[in-house]
Amino acid sequence: MHPSFNLCSAIDSQLSNLSVGLEGFGPDFEPQTRVADERFGDFQANGALPHAKKTGQNPRVLAQRLVDALPPSNDWKVDLSGPGFINFSASPELLLQWGLSHGSENELNKSAKTGNAKVIAVDFSSPNTAKQMHVGHIRSTLIGECISRMLTFRGHKVIRDNHLGDWGTQFGILLLAIEEEKVSLDDLGDDPVARLEDLYRLGNSRIKESEVALSKARAHLVKLQDGDPYSLSLWEKIRDLSMESFEQIYRLLGANFDHALGESFYRDKVDLVYEALSRHQICQEDDGALVVFHPDHKRFAKQPFIIRKSDGASNYATTDLATLSFRQAEWKCDQIIYVTDGRQRDHFEQLFLTARKWFQAEGRELPELSHVWFGTILGEDNKAIKTRDGQPIKLIDLLEEAIRRAGVMVRQKNSEIPNNEVERRAKIIGLGAVRYADLSQDRTLDYVFSWDKLLAMQGNTAPYLQYAVARIFSIFRKLNRDPSQPTQSPRPPQTEAERKLARKLLLFPMALDQATRELKPHFLCTYLYELATEFSSFYNQDKVMVDEVKTQELRLQLCSQTLHTLKTGLFLLGIETLEEM
């Protein structure tokens, strides 16, 4: 027997199929099976209630009819409770069988593959060149990487695209400052991107003070846009320098991209957008600009989506329309996911509405469009996180500080290990902690960044989960066993602690499902935290090293299954683990 990966949806489809021939049910009946409150069992189907209400029947009678139609099975104990809830409790044999067939990272990975694979573009990180990545960009990178990993794990074809902000008016200003300051781009000092940012600020104040500077900046921009080779070579150099500094961070964070088709890639594709939207009468002239209104929308009936500025220049909106069209035409995307902060919600809502009209007019299939937005990281004063002198915090500084602090922790615990091992562990713990602090919160909420909280060994933190992993490794070391080798004829779980842990392990697919469906990593984090806690009570209650062989084998089986589930989950979050901490 190889029980299904997701037992909750297996029960749901069984009930759904059974209901087809049954009196009182109809094609719109949904069993609504979910994870049950532990007191009632493992899964609970509640669909008889709303269906009975809608059709004026007795819910308990309906539920009983479904229960009677179930073929006899040793896998489940089934009973009715309340006004018509159907409760399913997995038998000890089923818990054991499920564990044996989903106990390794490989098996989990294989079972998680969906039968309905899609092509999904994930647009994430997307910093702006000539500017440093700041802490605001960390969320897009971490959430986007995690979502990409989860979708890949489910078997989708994921295309990761870093939509760099590498084109636009800022380059006119920057080129002006470079010229006026007689700066050589080969000699920008230790932190070239910081220097470029300073130059941009300088240029910006110049154009505010002087009309001459302003028209010079405009002339620089026109030259660049017209393809003047010298201006282009400067722009390219700026892009390369920026990319180098971003890549340093991506390497630290283990973030990967298939493409970095920035805004500049679409600069010769924006005319197509004006042309198409005008031809289909989706846009209109407004004070010299080209704009789109959505008369059926309460705000966007009046608030325009500007797709060409009055000076004729394209903007963020134009590029995003061109990008969307390109991704659909070239990559045949079924879905596009955009990961940005919540302040861009209006932009994406207008973009999606406009794209729907455009694609409809041309009979093109519009991919599913999802804006995955997130809140702000706050300092301990509850305001957007800043350095002491009020500057935005630089991402690289934050990550280095996390590693430094983790290094102190590791050294305190292990006075005897060599420095390079301290460094290796510090990196895994420090970066894991920052990452987990970010992913474990509902992404739509703001959260307070606190060093003490995120590095704590207790509570819902990465170090706590990494410690659970290291502890399981040490159990196997003590017994001189290998956690990836199969156990020898374990007995089914019997004690309360065994049963509770086995049940928690069984729920991994549902947590993964919810995190992937809602594109919210915190559901996975919450599950892993609960699993580690359940493991900890199991370990306190039931000794692993016992004389009874089959009992010891089961307990080792539960240990190794917990280990592999934790490792798989942490991998999906982008967090590495250690055999010793």
Q: Which residues bind ligand ARG (CB under 6 A)?
A: 123, 126-128, 163, 165, 320, 323, 338, 340
Q: How far is the CB of 69 from ligand ARG (least distance, A)?
A: 50
**Alpha-carbon gap, residue 139 to 7, rounded angstroms:** 33
The smaller minimum CB distance to ligand ARG, of residues 151 and 566, is found at 151
Beta bridge partner(s), residue 85: 81
Cα dihedral sign, 442-443-448-454: positive
**Alpha-carbon gap, residue 318 to 275, rounded angstroms:** 12
Q: How far is the CB of 263 from ligand ARG (least distance, A)?
A: 8
The helix (H) or strand (E) run that includes residue 284 is: strand 284-286
Q: How far is the CB of 225 from ligand ARG (least distance, A)?
A: 19
**Alpha-carbon gap, residue 435 to 570, rounded angstroms:** 10
Task: Give the strands of the sheet with 85-90, arranged side by side.
Answer: 33-35, 43-45, 85-90, 76-81
Q: What is the CA radius of gyration of the chain?
A: 28
The smaller minimum CB distance to ligand ARG, of residues 134 and 195, is found at 134
Give the residue carrying structure tokens 């374990």. 490
The smaller minimum CB distance to ligand ARG, of residues 250 and 473, is found at 250
**Alpha-carbon gap, residue 88 to 85, rounded angstroms:** 10
Q: How far is the CB of 133 from ligand ARG (least distance, A)?
A: 9
**Alpha-carbon gap, residue 20 to 237, rounded angstroms:** 65
The smaller minimum CB distance to ligand ARG, of residues 265 and 338, is found at 338
Task: Give the strands of the sheet with 284-286, arranged side by side.
Answer: 284-286, 289-292, 305-308
Q: How far is the CB of 160 from ligand ARG (least distance, A)?
A: 13
The smaller minimum CB distance to ligand ARG, of residues 351 and 429, is found at 351
The smaller minimum CB distance to ligand ARG, of residues 109 and 128, is found at 128
The smaller minimum CB distance to ligand ARG, of residues 309 and 499, is found at 309
The smaller minimum CB distance to ligand ARG, of residues 149 and 371, is found at 371
Q: How far is the CB of 127 from ligand ARG (least distance, A)?
A: 6
**Alpha-carbon gap, residue 53 to 239, rounded angstroms:** 62
Q: How far is the CB of 353 from ligand ARG (least distance, A)?
A: 15
**Alpha-carbon gap, residue 41 to 90, rounded angstroms:** 8
DSSP result, 163-230:
--B--STHHHHHHHHHHHTT--TT---S-HHHHHHHHHHHHHHHHHH-HHHHHHHHHHHHHHHTT-HH
Q: Comparing C-alpha atoms, which of 86, 83, 75 is closest to residue 16?
A: 86
Q: How far is the CB of 254 from ligand ARG (least distance, A)?
A: 21
The smaller minimum CB distance to ligand ARG, of residues 127 and 463, is found at 127
Q: How far is the CB of 156 from ligand ARG (least distance, A)?
A: 19
